[in-house]
């Protein structure tokens, strides 16, 4: 077992999750990569972490499955000495206007984006309490702050994450556990790549910095929060000024 700190990043097969995983490895942490299943993308994240000289672990887990989160973290904790940082990054979209939105579109998005963070936090909370230390970073969205037409399910899940973040922060501040949220704006990833060109242009036009964000821009904020022991319950926008 290594003496390094270990971070667990959900949804780390690509995009923002991968960038956070690699940035934390560059900071000297070993990293557990969580994704629903193994894939060439997962292996590429593992390779990028190992390239920094840190250890990478891969654990398959669907974060919307409460029991699976418990099993996955229990198995990981047999391999790693400790988990110090939890980044709840896994997220999905099922964008539709409310009139067209089906019950399943709503439930699926809440299950991954909001309940997934609850599931993973619950799975590691006793470990953090035992350590008298833990850093939780929830990847929300500016859409959780301002709402967005066509994303009622997603905006609700991301606003919910902010409430979850602040509540966890209040409950466990005295126990050495900090919990913060990052709200990315418009970041160039596979997720936003699926959007129609016109929608992407409209989003970019709303960014005062006049460029889309990169996954590395969000990773920089995660690195900052991973070593900010006196910050808790904070909601940090990484949006090029989109929601000023």
Query: Which parts of this chain interact with ligand NAI (CB under 6 A)?
Result: 10-11, 13-17, 35-36, 62-64, 89-92, 112-113, 139, 141, 184, 186-187, 189-192
CB 214, CB 239: distance < 8 Å:
no
- Is 154 annotated in the active site? yes
- Residue 92 vs 129, nearer CB to ligand NAI: 92
Nearest to 131 by CA among 5, 233, 1: 5
Q: What is the smallest separation between the CB atom of 92 and ligand NAI, expressed in angstroms?
A: 5
Task: Indicate which residue of 154, 172, 186, 243 is catalytic.
Answer: 154
- Residue 102 vs 194, nearer CB to ligand NAI: 194
SS3 96: strand
Tokens of 55: 């250890």
**CA 57 vs CA 44, 111, 124, 213: distances in Å:** 12, 25, 16, 28
- Residue 91 vs 134, nearer CB to ligand NAI: 91
Q: What is the smallest separation between the CB atom of 11 and ligand NAI, expressed in angstroms?
A: 3
Q: 3-state DSSP: the chain helix, strand, coil percent, rounded to 5?
A: 50, 15, 35
Q: What is the smallest separation between the CB atom of 49 and ligand NAI, expressed in angstroms?
A: 14
CB 16, CB 187: distance < 8 Å:
yes
Q: What is the smallest separation between the CB atom of 28 and ligand NAI, expressed in angstroms?
A: 23
CB 178, CB 131: distance < 8 Å:
no
Nearest to 15 by CA among 192, 163, 159, 198: 192
Q: What is the smallest separation between the CB atom of 81 and ligand NAI, expressed in angstroms?
A: 24
SS3 60: strand
Report DSSP state, residue 179: E
- Residue 145 vs 177, nearer CB to ligand NAI: 145
SS3 209: coil
C-alpha–C-alpha distance, residues 63 and 47, integer Å? 23
- Residue 155 vs 169, nearer CB to ligand NAI: 155
* Residues with a known catalytic role: 154
């Amino acid at each position: 077992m290594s003496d390094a700190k270990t971070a667990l990043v959900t949804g780390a097969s690509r995009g923002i999750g991968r960038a956070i995983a690699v940035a934390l490895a560059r900071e000297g942490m070993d990293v557990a990569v969580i994704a629903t299943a193994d894939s060439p993308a997962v292996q590429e994240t593992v390779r990028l972490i190992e390239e920094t000289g840190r250890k990478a672990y891969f654990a398959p887990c669907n974060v919307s499955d409460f029991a699976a989160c418990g099993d996955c973290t229990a198995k990981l904790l047999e391999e790693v000495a400790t988990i110090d940082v939890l980044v709840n990054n896994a997220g999905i979209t099922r964008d539709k206007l409310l009139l067209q939105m089906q019950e399943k579109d709503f439930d699926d998005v809440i299950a991954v984006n909001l309940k997934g963070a609850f599931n993973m936090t619950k799975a590691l909370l006793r470990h953090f309490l035992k350590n008298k230390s833990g850093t939780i970073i929830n990847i929300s969205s500016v859409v959780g702050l301002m709402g967005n037409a066509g994303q009622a399910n997603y905006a609700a899940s991301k606003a919910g994450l902010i409430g979850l973040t602040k509540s966890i922060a209040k409950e466990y501040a005295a126990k050495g556990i900090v919990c913060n949220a990052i709200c990315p704006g418009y970041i160039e990833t596979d997720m936003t790549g699926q959007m129609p060109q016109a929608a992407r242009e409209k989003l970019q036009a709303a960014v005062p910095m006049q460029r889309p964000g990169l996954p590395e821009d969000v990773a920089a904020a995660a690195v900052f929060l991973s070593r900010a022991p006196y910050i808790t319950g904070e909601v940090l926008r990484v949006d090029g000024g989109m929601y000023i």
